[in-house]
Amino acid sequence: MRAPNANEILLQVEGVALAFGGVRALRDVSFNVRKGEIRAIIGPNGAGKTSMLNVVNGFYHPNHGAITFKGRTRAKMQPFEAARGGIARTFQNVALFKGMSALDNIMTGRTLKVRRGLLWQALRYGPALAEEVEHRRKVEEIIDFLEIETIRKVPVGRLPYGLQKRVELGRALAMEPDLLLLDEPMAGMNVEEKEDMSRFIVDVNNHYGTTIALIEHDMAVVMDLSDRVAVLDHGVKIADGTPDEVKRSQAVIDAYLGVAH
């Protein structure tokens, strides 16, 4: 059930700064994500949205600032540690194994949950088999959830883009994450695919209670889906609040429409 709890902060980002040489991608950005909410990060091109996500899941290491996830503060973390800690993500450009079936791709999302060693798995015998059945069941539930039964056995390289995005979401869900990071889940989709994807995002939030942080360009979608929106521009947070508050913010209007200097 969806029950955003105002008191329970899942992720706290405090004064994060990130620079690539002379380019300052993020400057003293702070925001938080509450447990059970859908949180959007928006901003014009080059505002530092993807950098922010990369910092959160440990792909980039911030030059300053601290990140607190599930009560543990740290300055530095590797992506696999983030994954093990319960952060899953999808990518702006679909990053799937093109030659593998949709089913196998989603199965890879279970990797971190596998308890038996490589040898057992290779033998596919005894406890390893029982475990695989268990994982497969979980994956089939996700396939059912995302309504992709028809493409279960199809190599993802042959699928249309909208479906590939859905498979990628499935793989992220297979990790049973506490925090799901979606990097432009609707980029390059047509209206119908966007509607489908929006429905799945809301359903994931409702059904699994997963906290979601997403980056998106389509304003209508963001305003519809999110509980709270943070706006970045040139690496600085310029607004933060409910969709309505953000829509009224002069700073946001200026950033998107441009102002006469």
Partner 1 sequence: MAGGGSYDTFPKLLLRNSAQFGTRPAFRHKDLGIWQSWTWAQVAEIIRAYAAGLHRLGLREGDTVAVVGSNRPKLYWTMMAAQVLRAIPVPVYSDAVADELAFVLAHADAKLVAAQDQEQVDKVLSVSDRLPQLNRIVYDEPRGLDGYDRSRLIAIGDIIEDGRTALAAEPTLGERIDESIRAGSGSDIAVILYTSGTTGAPKGVMLSARNCIDAAIDTTRFDRLTDKDVVLAYLPLAWAGDHYVSYVQGLVAGYCMACPESSDTIEQDRHEIGPTFYLAPPRIFEAMLTRLMVRMEDAAPIKRRLFSYFLDVAQRYGEQVLTGRPVPLSGRLIYALGRWLVYEPLKNVLGLSQVRVAYTGGEAIGPDLFAFYRSIGLNLKQLYGQTEAFLYVTCQPDGEIYSDTVGPPAPHVDICIAETGEVQFRSPGMFLGYFKDQAKTAEAMTSDGYVRTGDAGFFDEKTGHLKIIDRAKDVGRLADGTMFAPKYLENKLKFYPNVKEAITFGDSREFVCAMLNIDPVAVANWAERNNVAYGSYQELAGHPLVYDMVAKDVAAVNRSLAGETVLAGAQIRRFLILHKELDADDGELTRTQKVRRRFIAERYAPLVTALYNGAHEADISTEVTFEDGRKGTIAARVKIRDMQIVGPTKSLGRAA
d(CA 143, CA 57): 25
Give all strands of the β-sheet with 9-20 in edge-to-edge order. Answer: 23-34, 9-20, 64-69, 72-74
Among 5, 111, 206, 242, binds partner 1 (CB under 8 A): 206
Output the DSSP codes for 143-183: HHHTT-GGGTTSBGGGS-HHHHHHHHHHHHHHT--SEEEEE
If binding means CB under 8 A, how many residues of this protein chain bind partner 1? 16
If one asks whether residue 203 binds partner 1 (CB under 8 A), the answer comes out as yes
If one asks whether residue 145 binds partner 1 (CB under 8 A), the answer comes out as yes
The CA distances from residue 82 to 53, 175, 177, 218, in Å, are 12, 12, 10, 28
Binding pattern to partner 1, positions 119-138, x when CB under 8 A?
-----------------xx-
Stretch that binds partner 1, among 11-19, 28-36, 199-207, 216-224 (CB under 8 A): 199-207
Say which residue the tokens 């679909």 belong to.
94
Among 141, 224, 245, 254, binds partner 1 (CB under 8 A): 141
If one asks whether residue 1 binds partner 1 (CB under 8 A), the answer comes out as yes
Looking at the chain, the number of H-run helices and the number of E-run strands are: 10, 10
Stretch 159-188 residues interacting with partner 1 (CB under 8 A): none
Measured from the CB atom, is 78 or 150 closer to partner 1? Answer: 150
Q: How many CA atoms lie within 13 A of 190 on its CB side?
A: 4
Among 8, 81, 134, 144, binds partner 1 (CB under 8 A): 144
**Smallest separation (angstroms) from partner 1 to the CB of 220:** 17
d(CA 114, CA 121): 9
Measured from the CB atom, is 59 or 145 closer to partner 1? Answer: 145
The CA distances from residue 40 to 37, 164, 202, 225, 257, in Å, are 10, 22, 13, 9, 20
Measured from the CB atom, is 34 or 152 closer to partner 1? Answer: 152
Q: How many CA atoms lie within 13 A of 216 on its CB side?
A: 25
Stretch 51-80 residues interacting with partner 1 (CB under 8 A): none
Among 34, 152, 234, 247, binds partner 1 (CB under 8 A): 152
Among 147, 224, 244, 254, binds partner 1 (CB under 8 A): 147
Measured from the CB atom, is 78 or 190 closer to partner 1? Answer: 190
Q: At what angle do helices 127-145 and 191-207 cross, to 10 degrees?
A: 130
Sequence length of the chain is 261
**Smallest separation (angstroms) from partner 1 to the CB of 254:** 36
**Smallest separation (angstroms) from partner 1 to the CB of 196:** 12
Among 140, 176, 193, 227, binds partner 1 (CB under 8 A): 140
Phi-psi category of 219—alpha, beta or left, where left has phi over 0 and alpha has psi -120 to 50? Answer: alpha
Judged by the rule CB under 8 A, the positions of this chain that interact with partner 1 are 1-2, 136-137, 140-141, 143-145, 147, 149-150, 152, 203, 206-207
